């Protein structure tokens, strides 16, 4: 019924822990399979995975989308649960996911809440996203206001927290190949465009690891800036491509607002594009001020700071986020 897809690229140190977390589930073993796709061979890791019934798929290219399209040829399950090699499942995750999809044929997408852990599996007291809300929601009717309100929940966050019907990925197979840095957002958007319902559950079923090689590492300003540009550019690219293929007016309107927001994030670090940033903010203002007034006003203050002194804003924003992460790690 379920196929767990574990992806690894170059990194070995966490992979067996990820596999064991998927293997040691309360769900009966005949209800799910585990497939590990990676670009390296390691005798100890490979022997352990095969000895515990896991499947191995070797893949040379590096993008997540291309890796997922390749592994789709081997999966048997109707529901796919993704697991990054450095993350972990809680032992009851698959039993809960199995029950949700089995009881609702019209369910297409589930995003569960998560714990944040460090290199030594210690849990952070707070979320790494200062404004993240852990709450449950069910998306059946796609109203623009509801979707904008749910963005505070970050309903696409962390691929290891996402379970999705395989049929949705098959439908968007060609677009999936091009996905690079933001596969989690891609999964959410294609689910919105479907006729299936989406569920956000407040149950914490995943442990998301924060360490030096993750996308939310802030060791050096230049590295932070480069990562921010790569991720926001990839986000914009796939969002614009999906915008062309989506048919629902409401979803296209939502995606247009998202594209403007991500354009602002991208331009913050790309160039001193004051006019474009301000225009994007003004165009989004009538929608966002209703859906999330406090965050929208805070964004306005950030944009004002950026317009006055772009480089000072960049450095300040970097230090603000870095200090917050250091604070939650120390706790």
DSSP labels, 266-299: HHHHH---HHHHHHHHHHHHHHHHHH-HHHHHHH
Tell me how many degrees the CA angle 28-32-36 measures, rounded to the nearest 5.
Answer: 130
* Each residue's pLDDT tens digit, 78-105: 999 999 999 999 999 999 999 999 999 9
Residue 201's H or E segment, with its range, is strand 197-209
How far apart, in Å, are the Cα atoms of 107 and each of 58, 100, 139, 216?
31, 8, 10, 31
The DSSP call for residue 76 is: -
Higher pLDDT, 63 or 146: 146
* Each residue's pLDDT tens digit, 131-151: 777 778 999 989 999 999 999
Beta bridge partners of 5: 35, 82
Distance CA 113, CA 134 (A): 6
Say what the pLDDT of residue 215 is: 57
Mean pLDDT in residue range 231-255:
92
Mean pLDDT in residue range 213-232:
79
- What's the chain's average pLDDT? 92
Say what the pLDDT of residue 318 is: 92
Say what the pLDDT of residue 126 is: 81
Mean pLDDT in residue range 125-136:
77
* Each residue's pLDDT tens digit, 294-326: 999 999 999 999 999 999 999 999 999 888 887
Does 219 score more than 80 pLDDT?
Answer: no
Confidence of residue 329 (pLDDT cuts 50, 70, 90): confident
Q: Which of 76, 82, 73, 32 lies closest to 52 in space, CA to CA?
A: 32
Percent of the chain, pLDDT > 90? 74
Mean pLDDT in residue range 221-225:
88
Say what the pLDDT of residue 326 is: 79
Beta bridge partners of 2: 32, 79
Distance CA 245, CA 234 (A): 17
324 close to 216: Cβ distance less than 8 angstroms: no
Report pTM. 0.93
Confidence of residue 289 (pLDDT cuts 50, 70, 90): very high
Mean pLDDT in residue range 179-187:
89
């Amino acid at each position: 019924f379920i196929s767990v897809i574990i992806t690894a690229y170059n990194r070995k140190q966490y992979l067996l822990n990820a596999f064991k977390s998927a293997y040691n589930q309360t769900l009966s073993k005949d209800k799910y399979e585990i497939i590990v796709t990676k670009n390296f061979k390691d005798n100890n890791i490979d022997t352990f995975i095969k000895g515990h019934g896991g499947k191995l798929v070797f893949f040379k290219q590096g993008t997540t989308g291309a890796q997922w399209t390749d592994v789709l040829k081997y999966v048997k399950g109707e529901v796919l649960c993704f697991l990054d090699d450095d993350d972990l499942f809680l032992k009851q995750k698959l039993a809960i996911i199995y029950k949700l999809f089995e009881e609702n044929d019209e369910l297409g997408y589930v995003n569960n809440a998560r714990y944040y852990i460090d290199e030594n599996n210690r849990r952070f007291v707070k979320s790494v996203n200062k404004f993240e809300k852990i709450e449950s929601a069910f998306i059946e009717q796609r109203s623009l206001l509801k979707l904008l309100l749910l963005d505070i929940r970050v309903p696409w966050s962390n691929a290891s927290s996402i379970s999705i019907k395989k049929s949705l990925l098959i439908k968007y197979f060609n677009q999936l190949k091009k996905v690079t840095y933001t596969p989690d957002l891609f999964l959410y958007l294609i689910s919105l465009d479907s006729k299936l319902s989406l569920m956000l559950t407040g149950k914490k079923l995943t442990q998301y690891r924060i360490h030096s090689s993750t996308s939310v590492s802030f060791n050096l300003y230049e590295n932070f800036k480069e990562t921010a540009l790569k991720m926001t550019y990839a986000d914009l690219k796939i969002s614009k491509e999906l915008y062309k293929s989506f048919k629902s007016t409401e979803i296209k309107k939502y995606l247009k607002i998202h594209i403007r927001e991500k354009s602002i994030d991208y331009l913050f670090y790309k160039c001193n594009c004051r006019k474009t940033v301000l225009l994007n903010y003004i165009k989004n203002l009538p929608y966002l001020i209703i859906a999330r007034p406090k965050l929208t006003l805070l964004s306005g203050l950030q944009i004002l700071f950026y317009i006055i002194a772009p480089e000072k804003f960049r450095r300040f924003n970097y230090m603000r986020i870095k200090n917050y992460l250091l604070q939650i790690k120390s706790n």
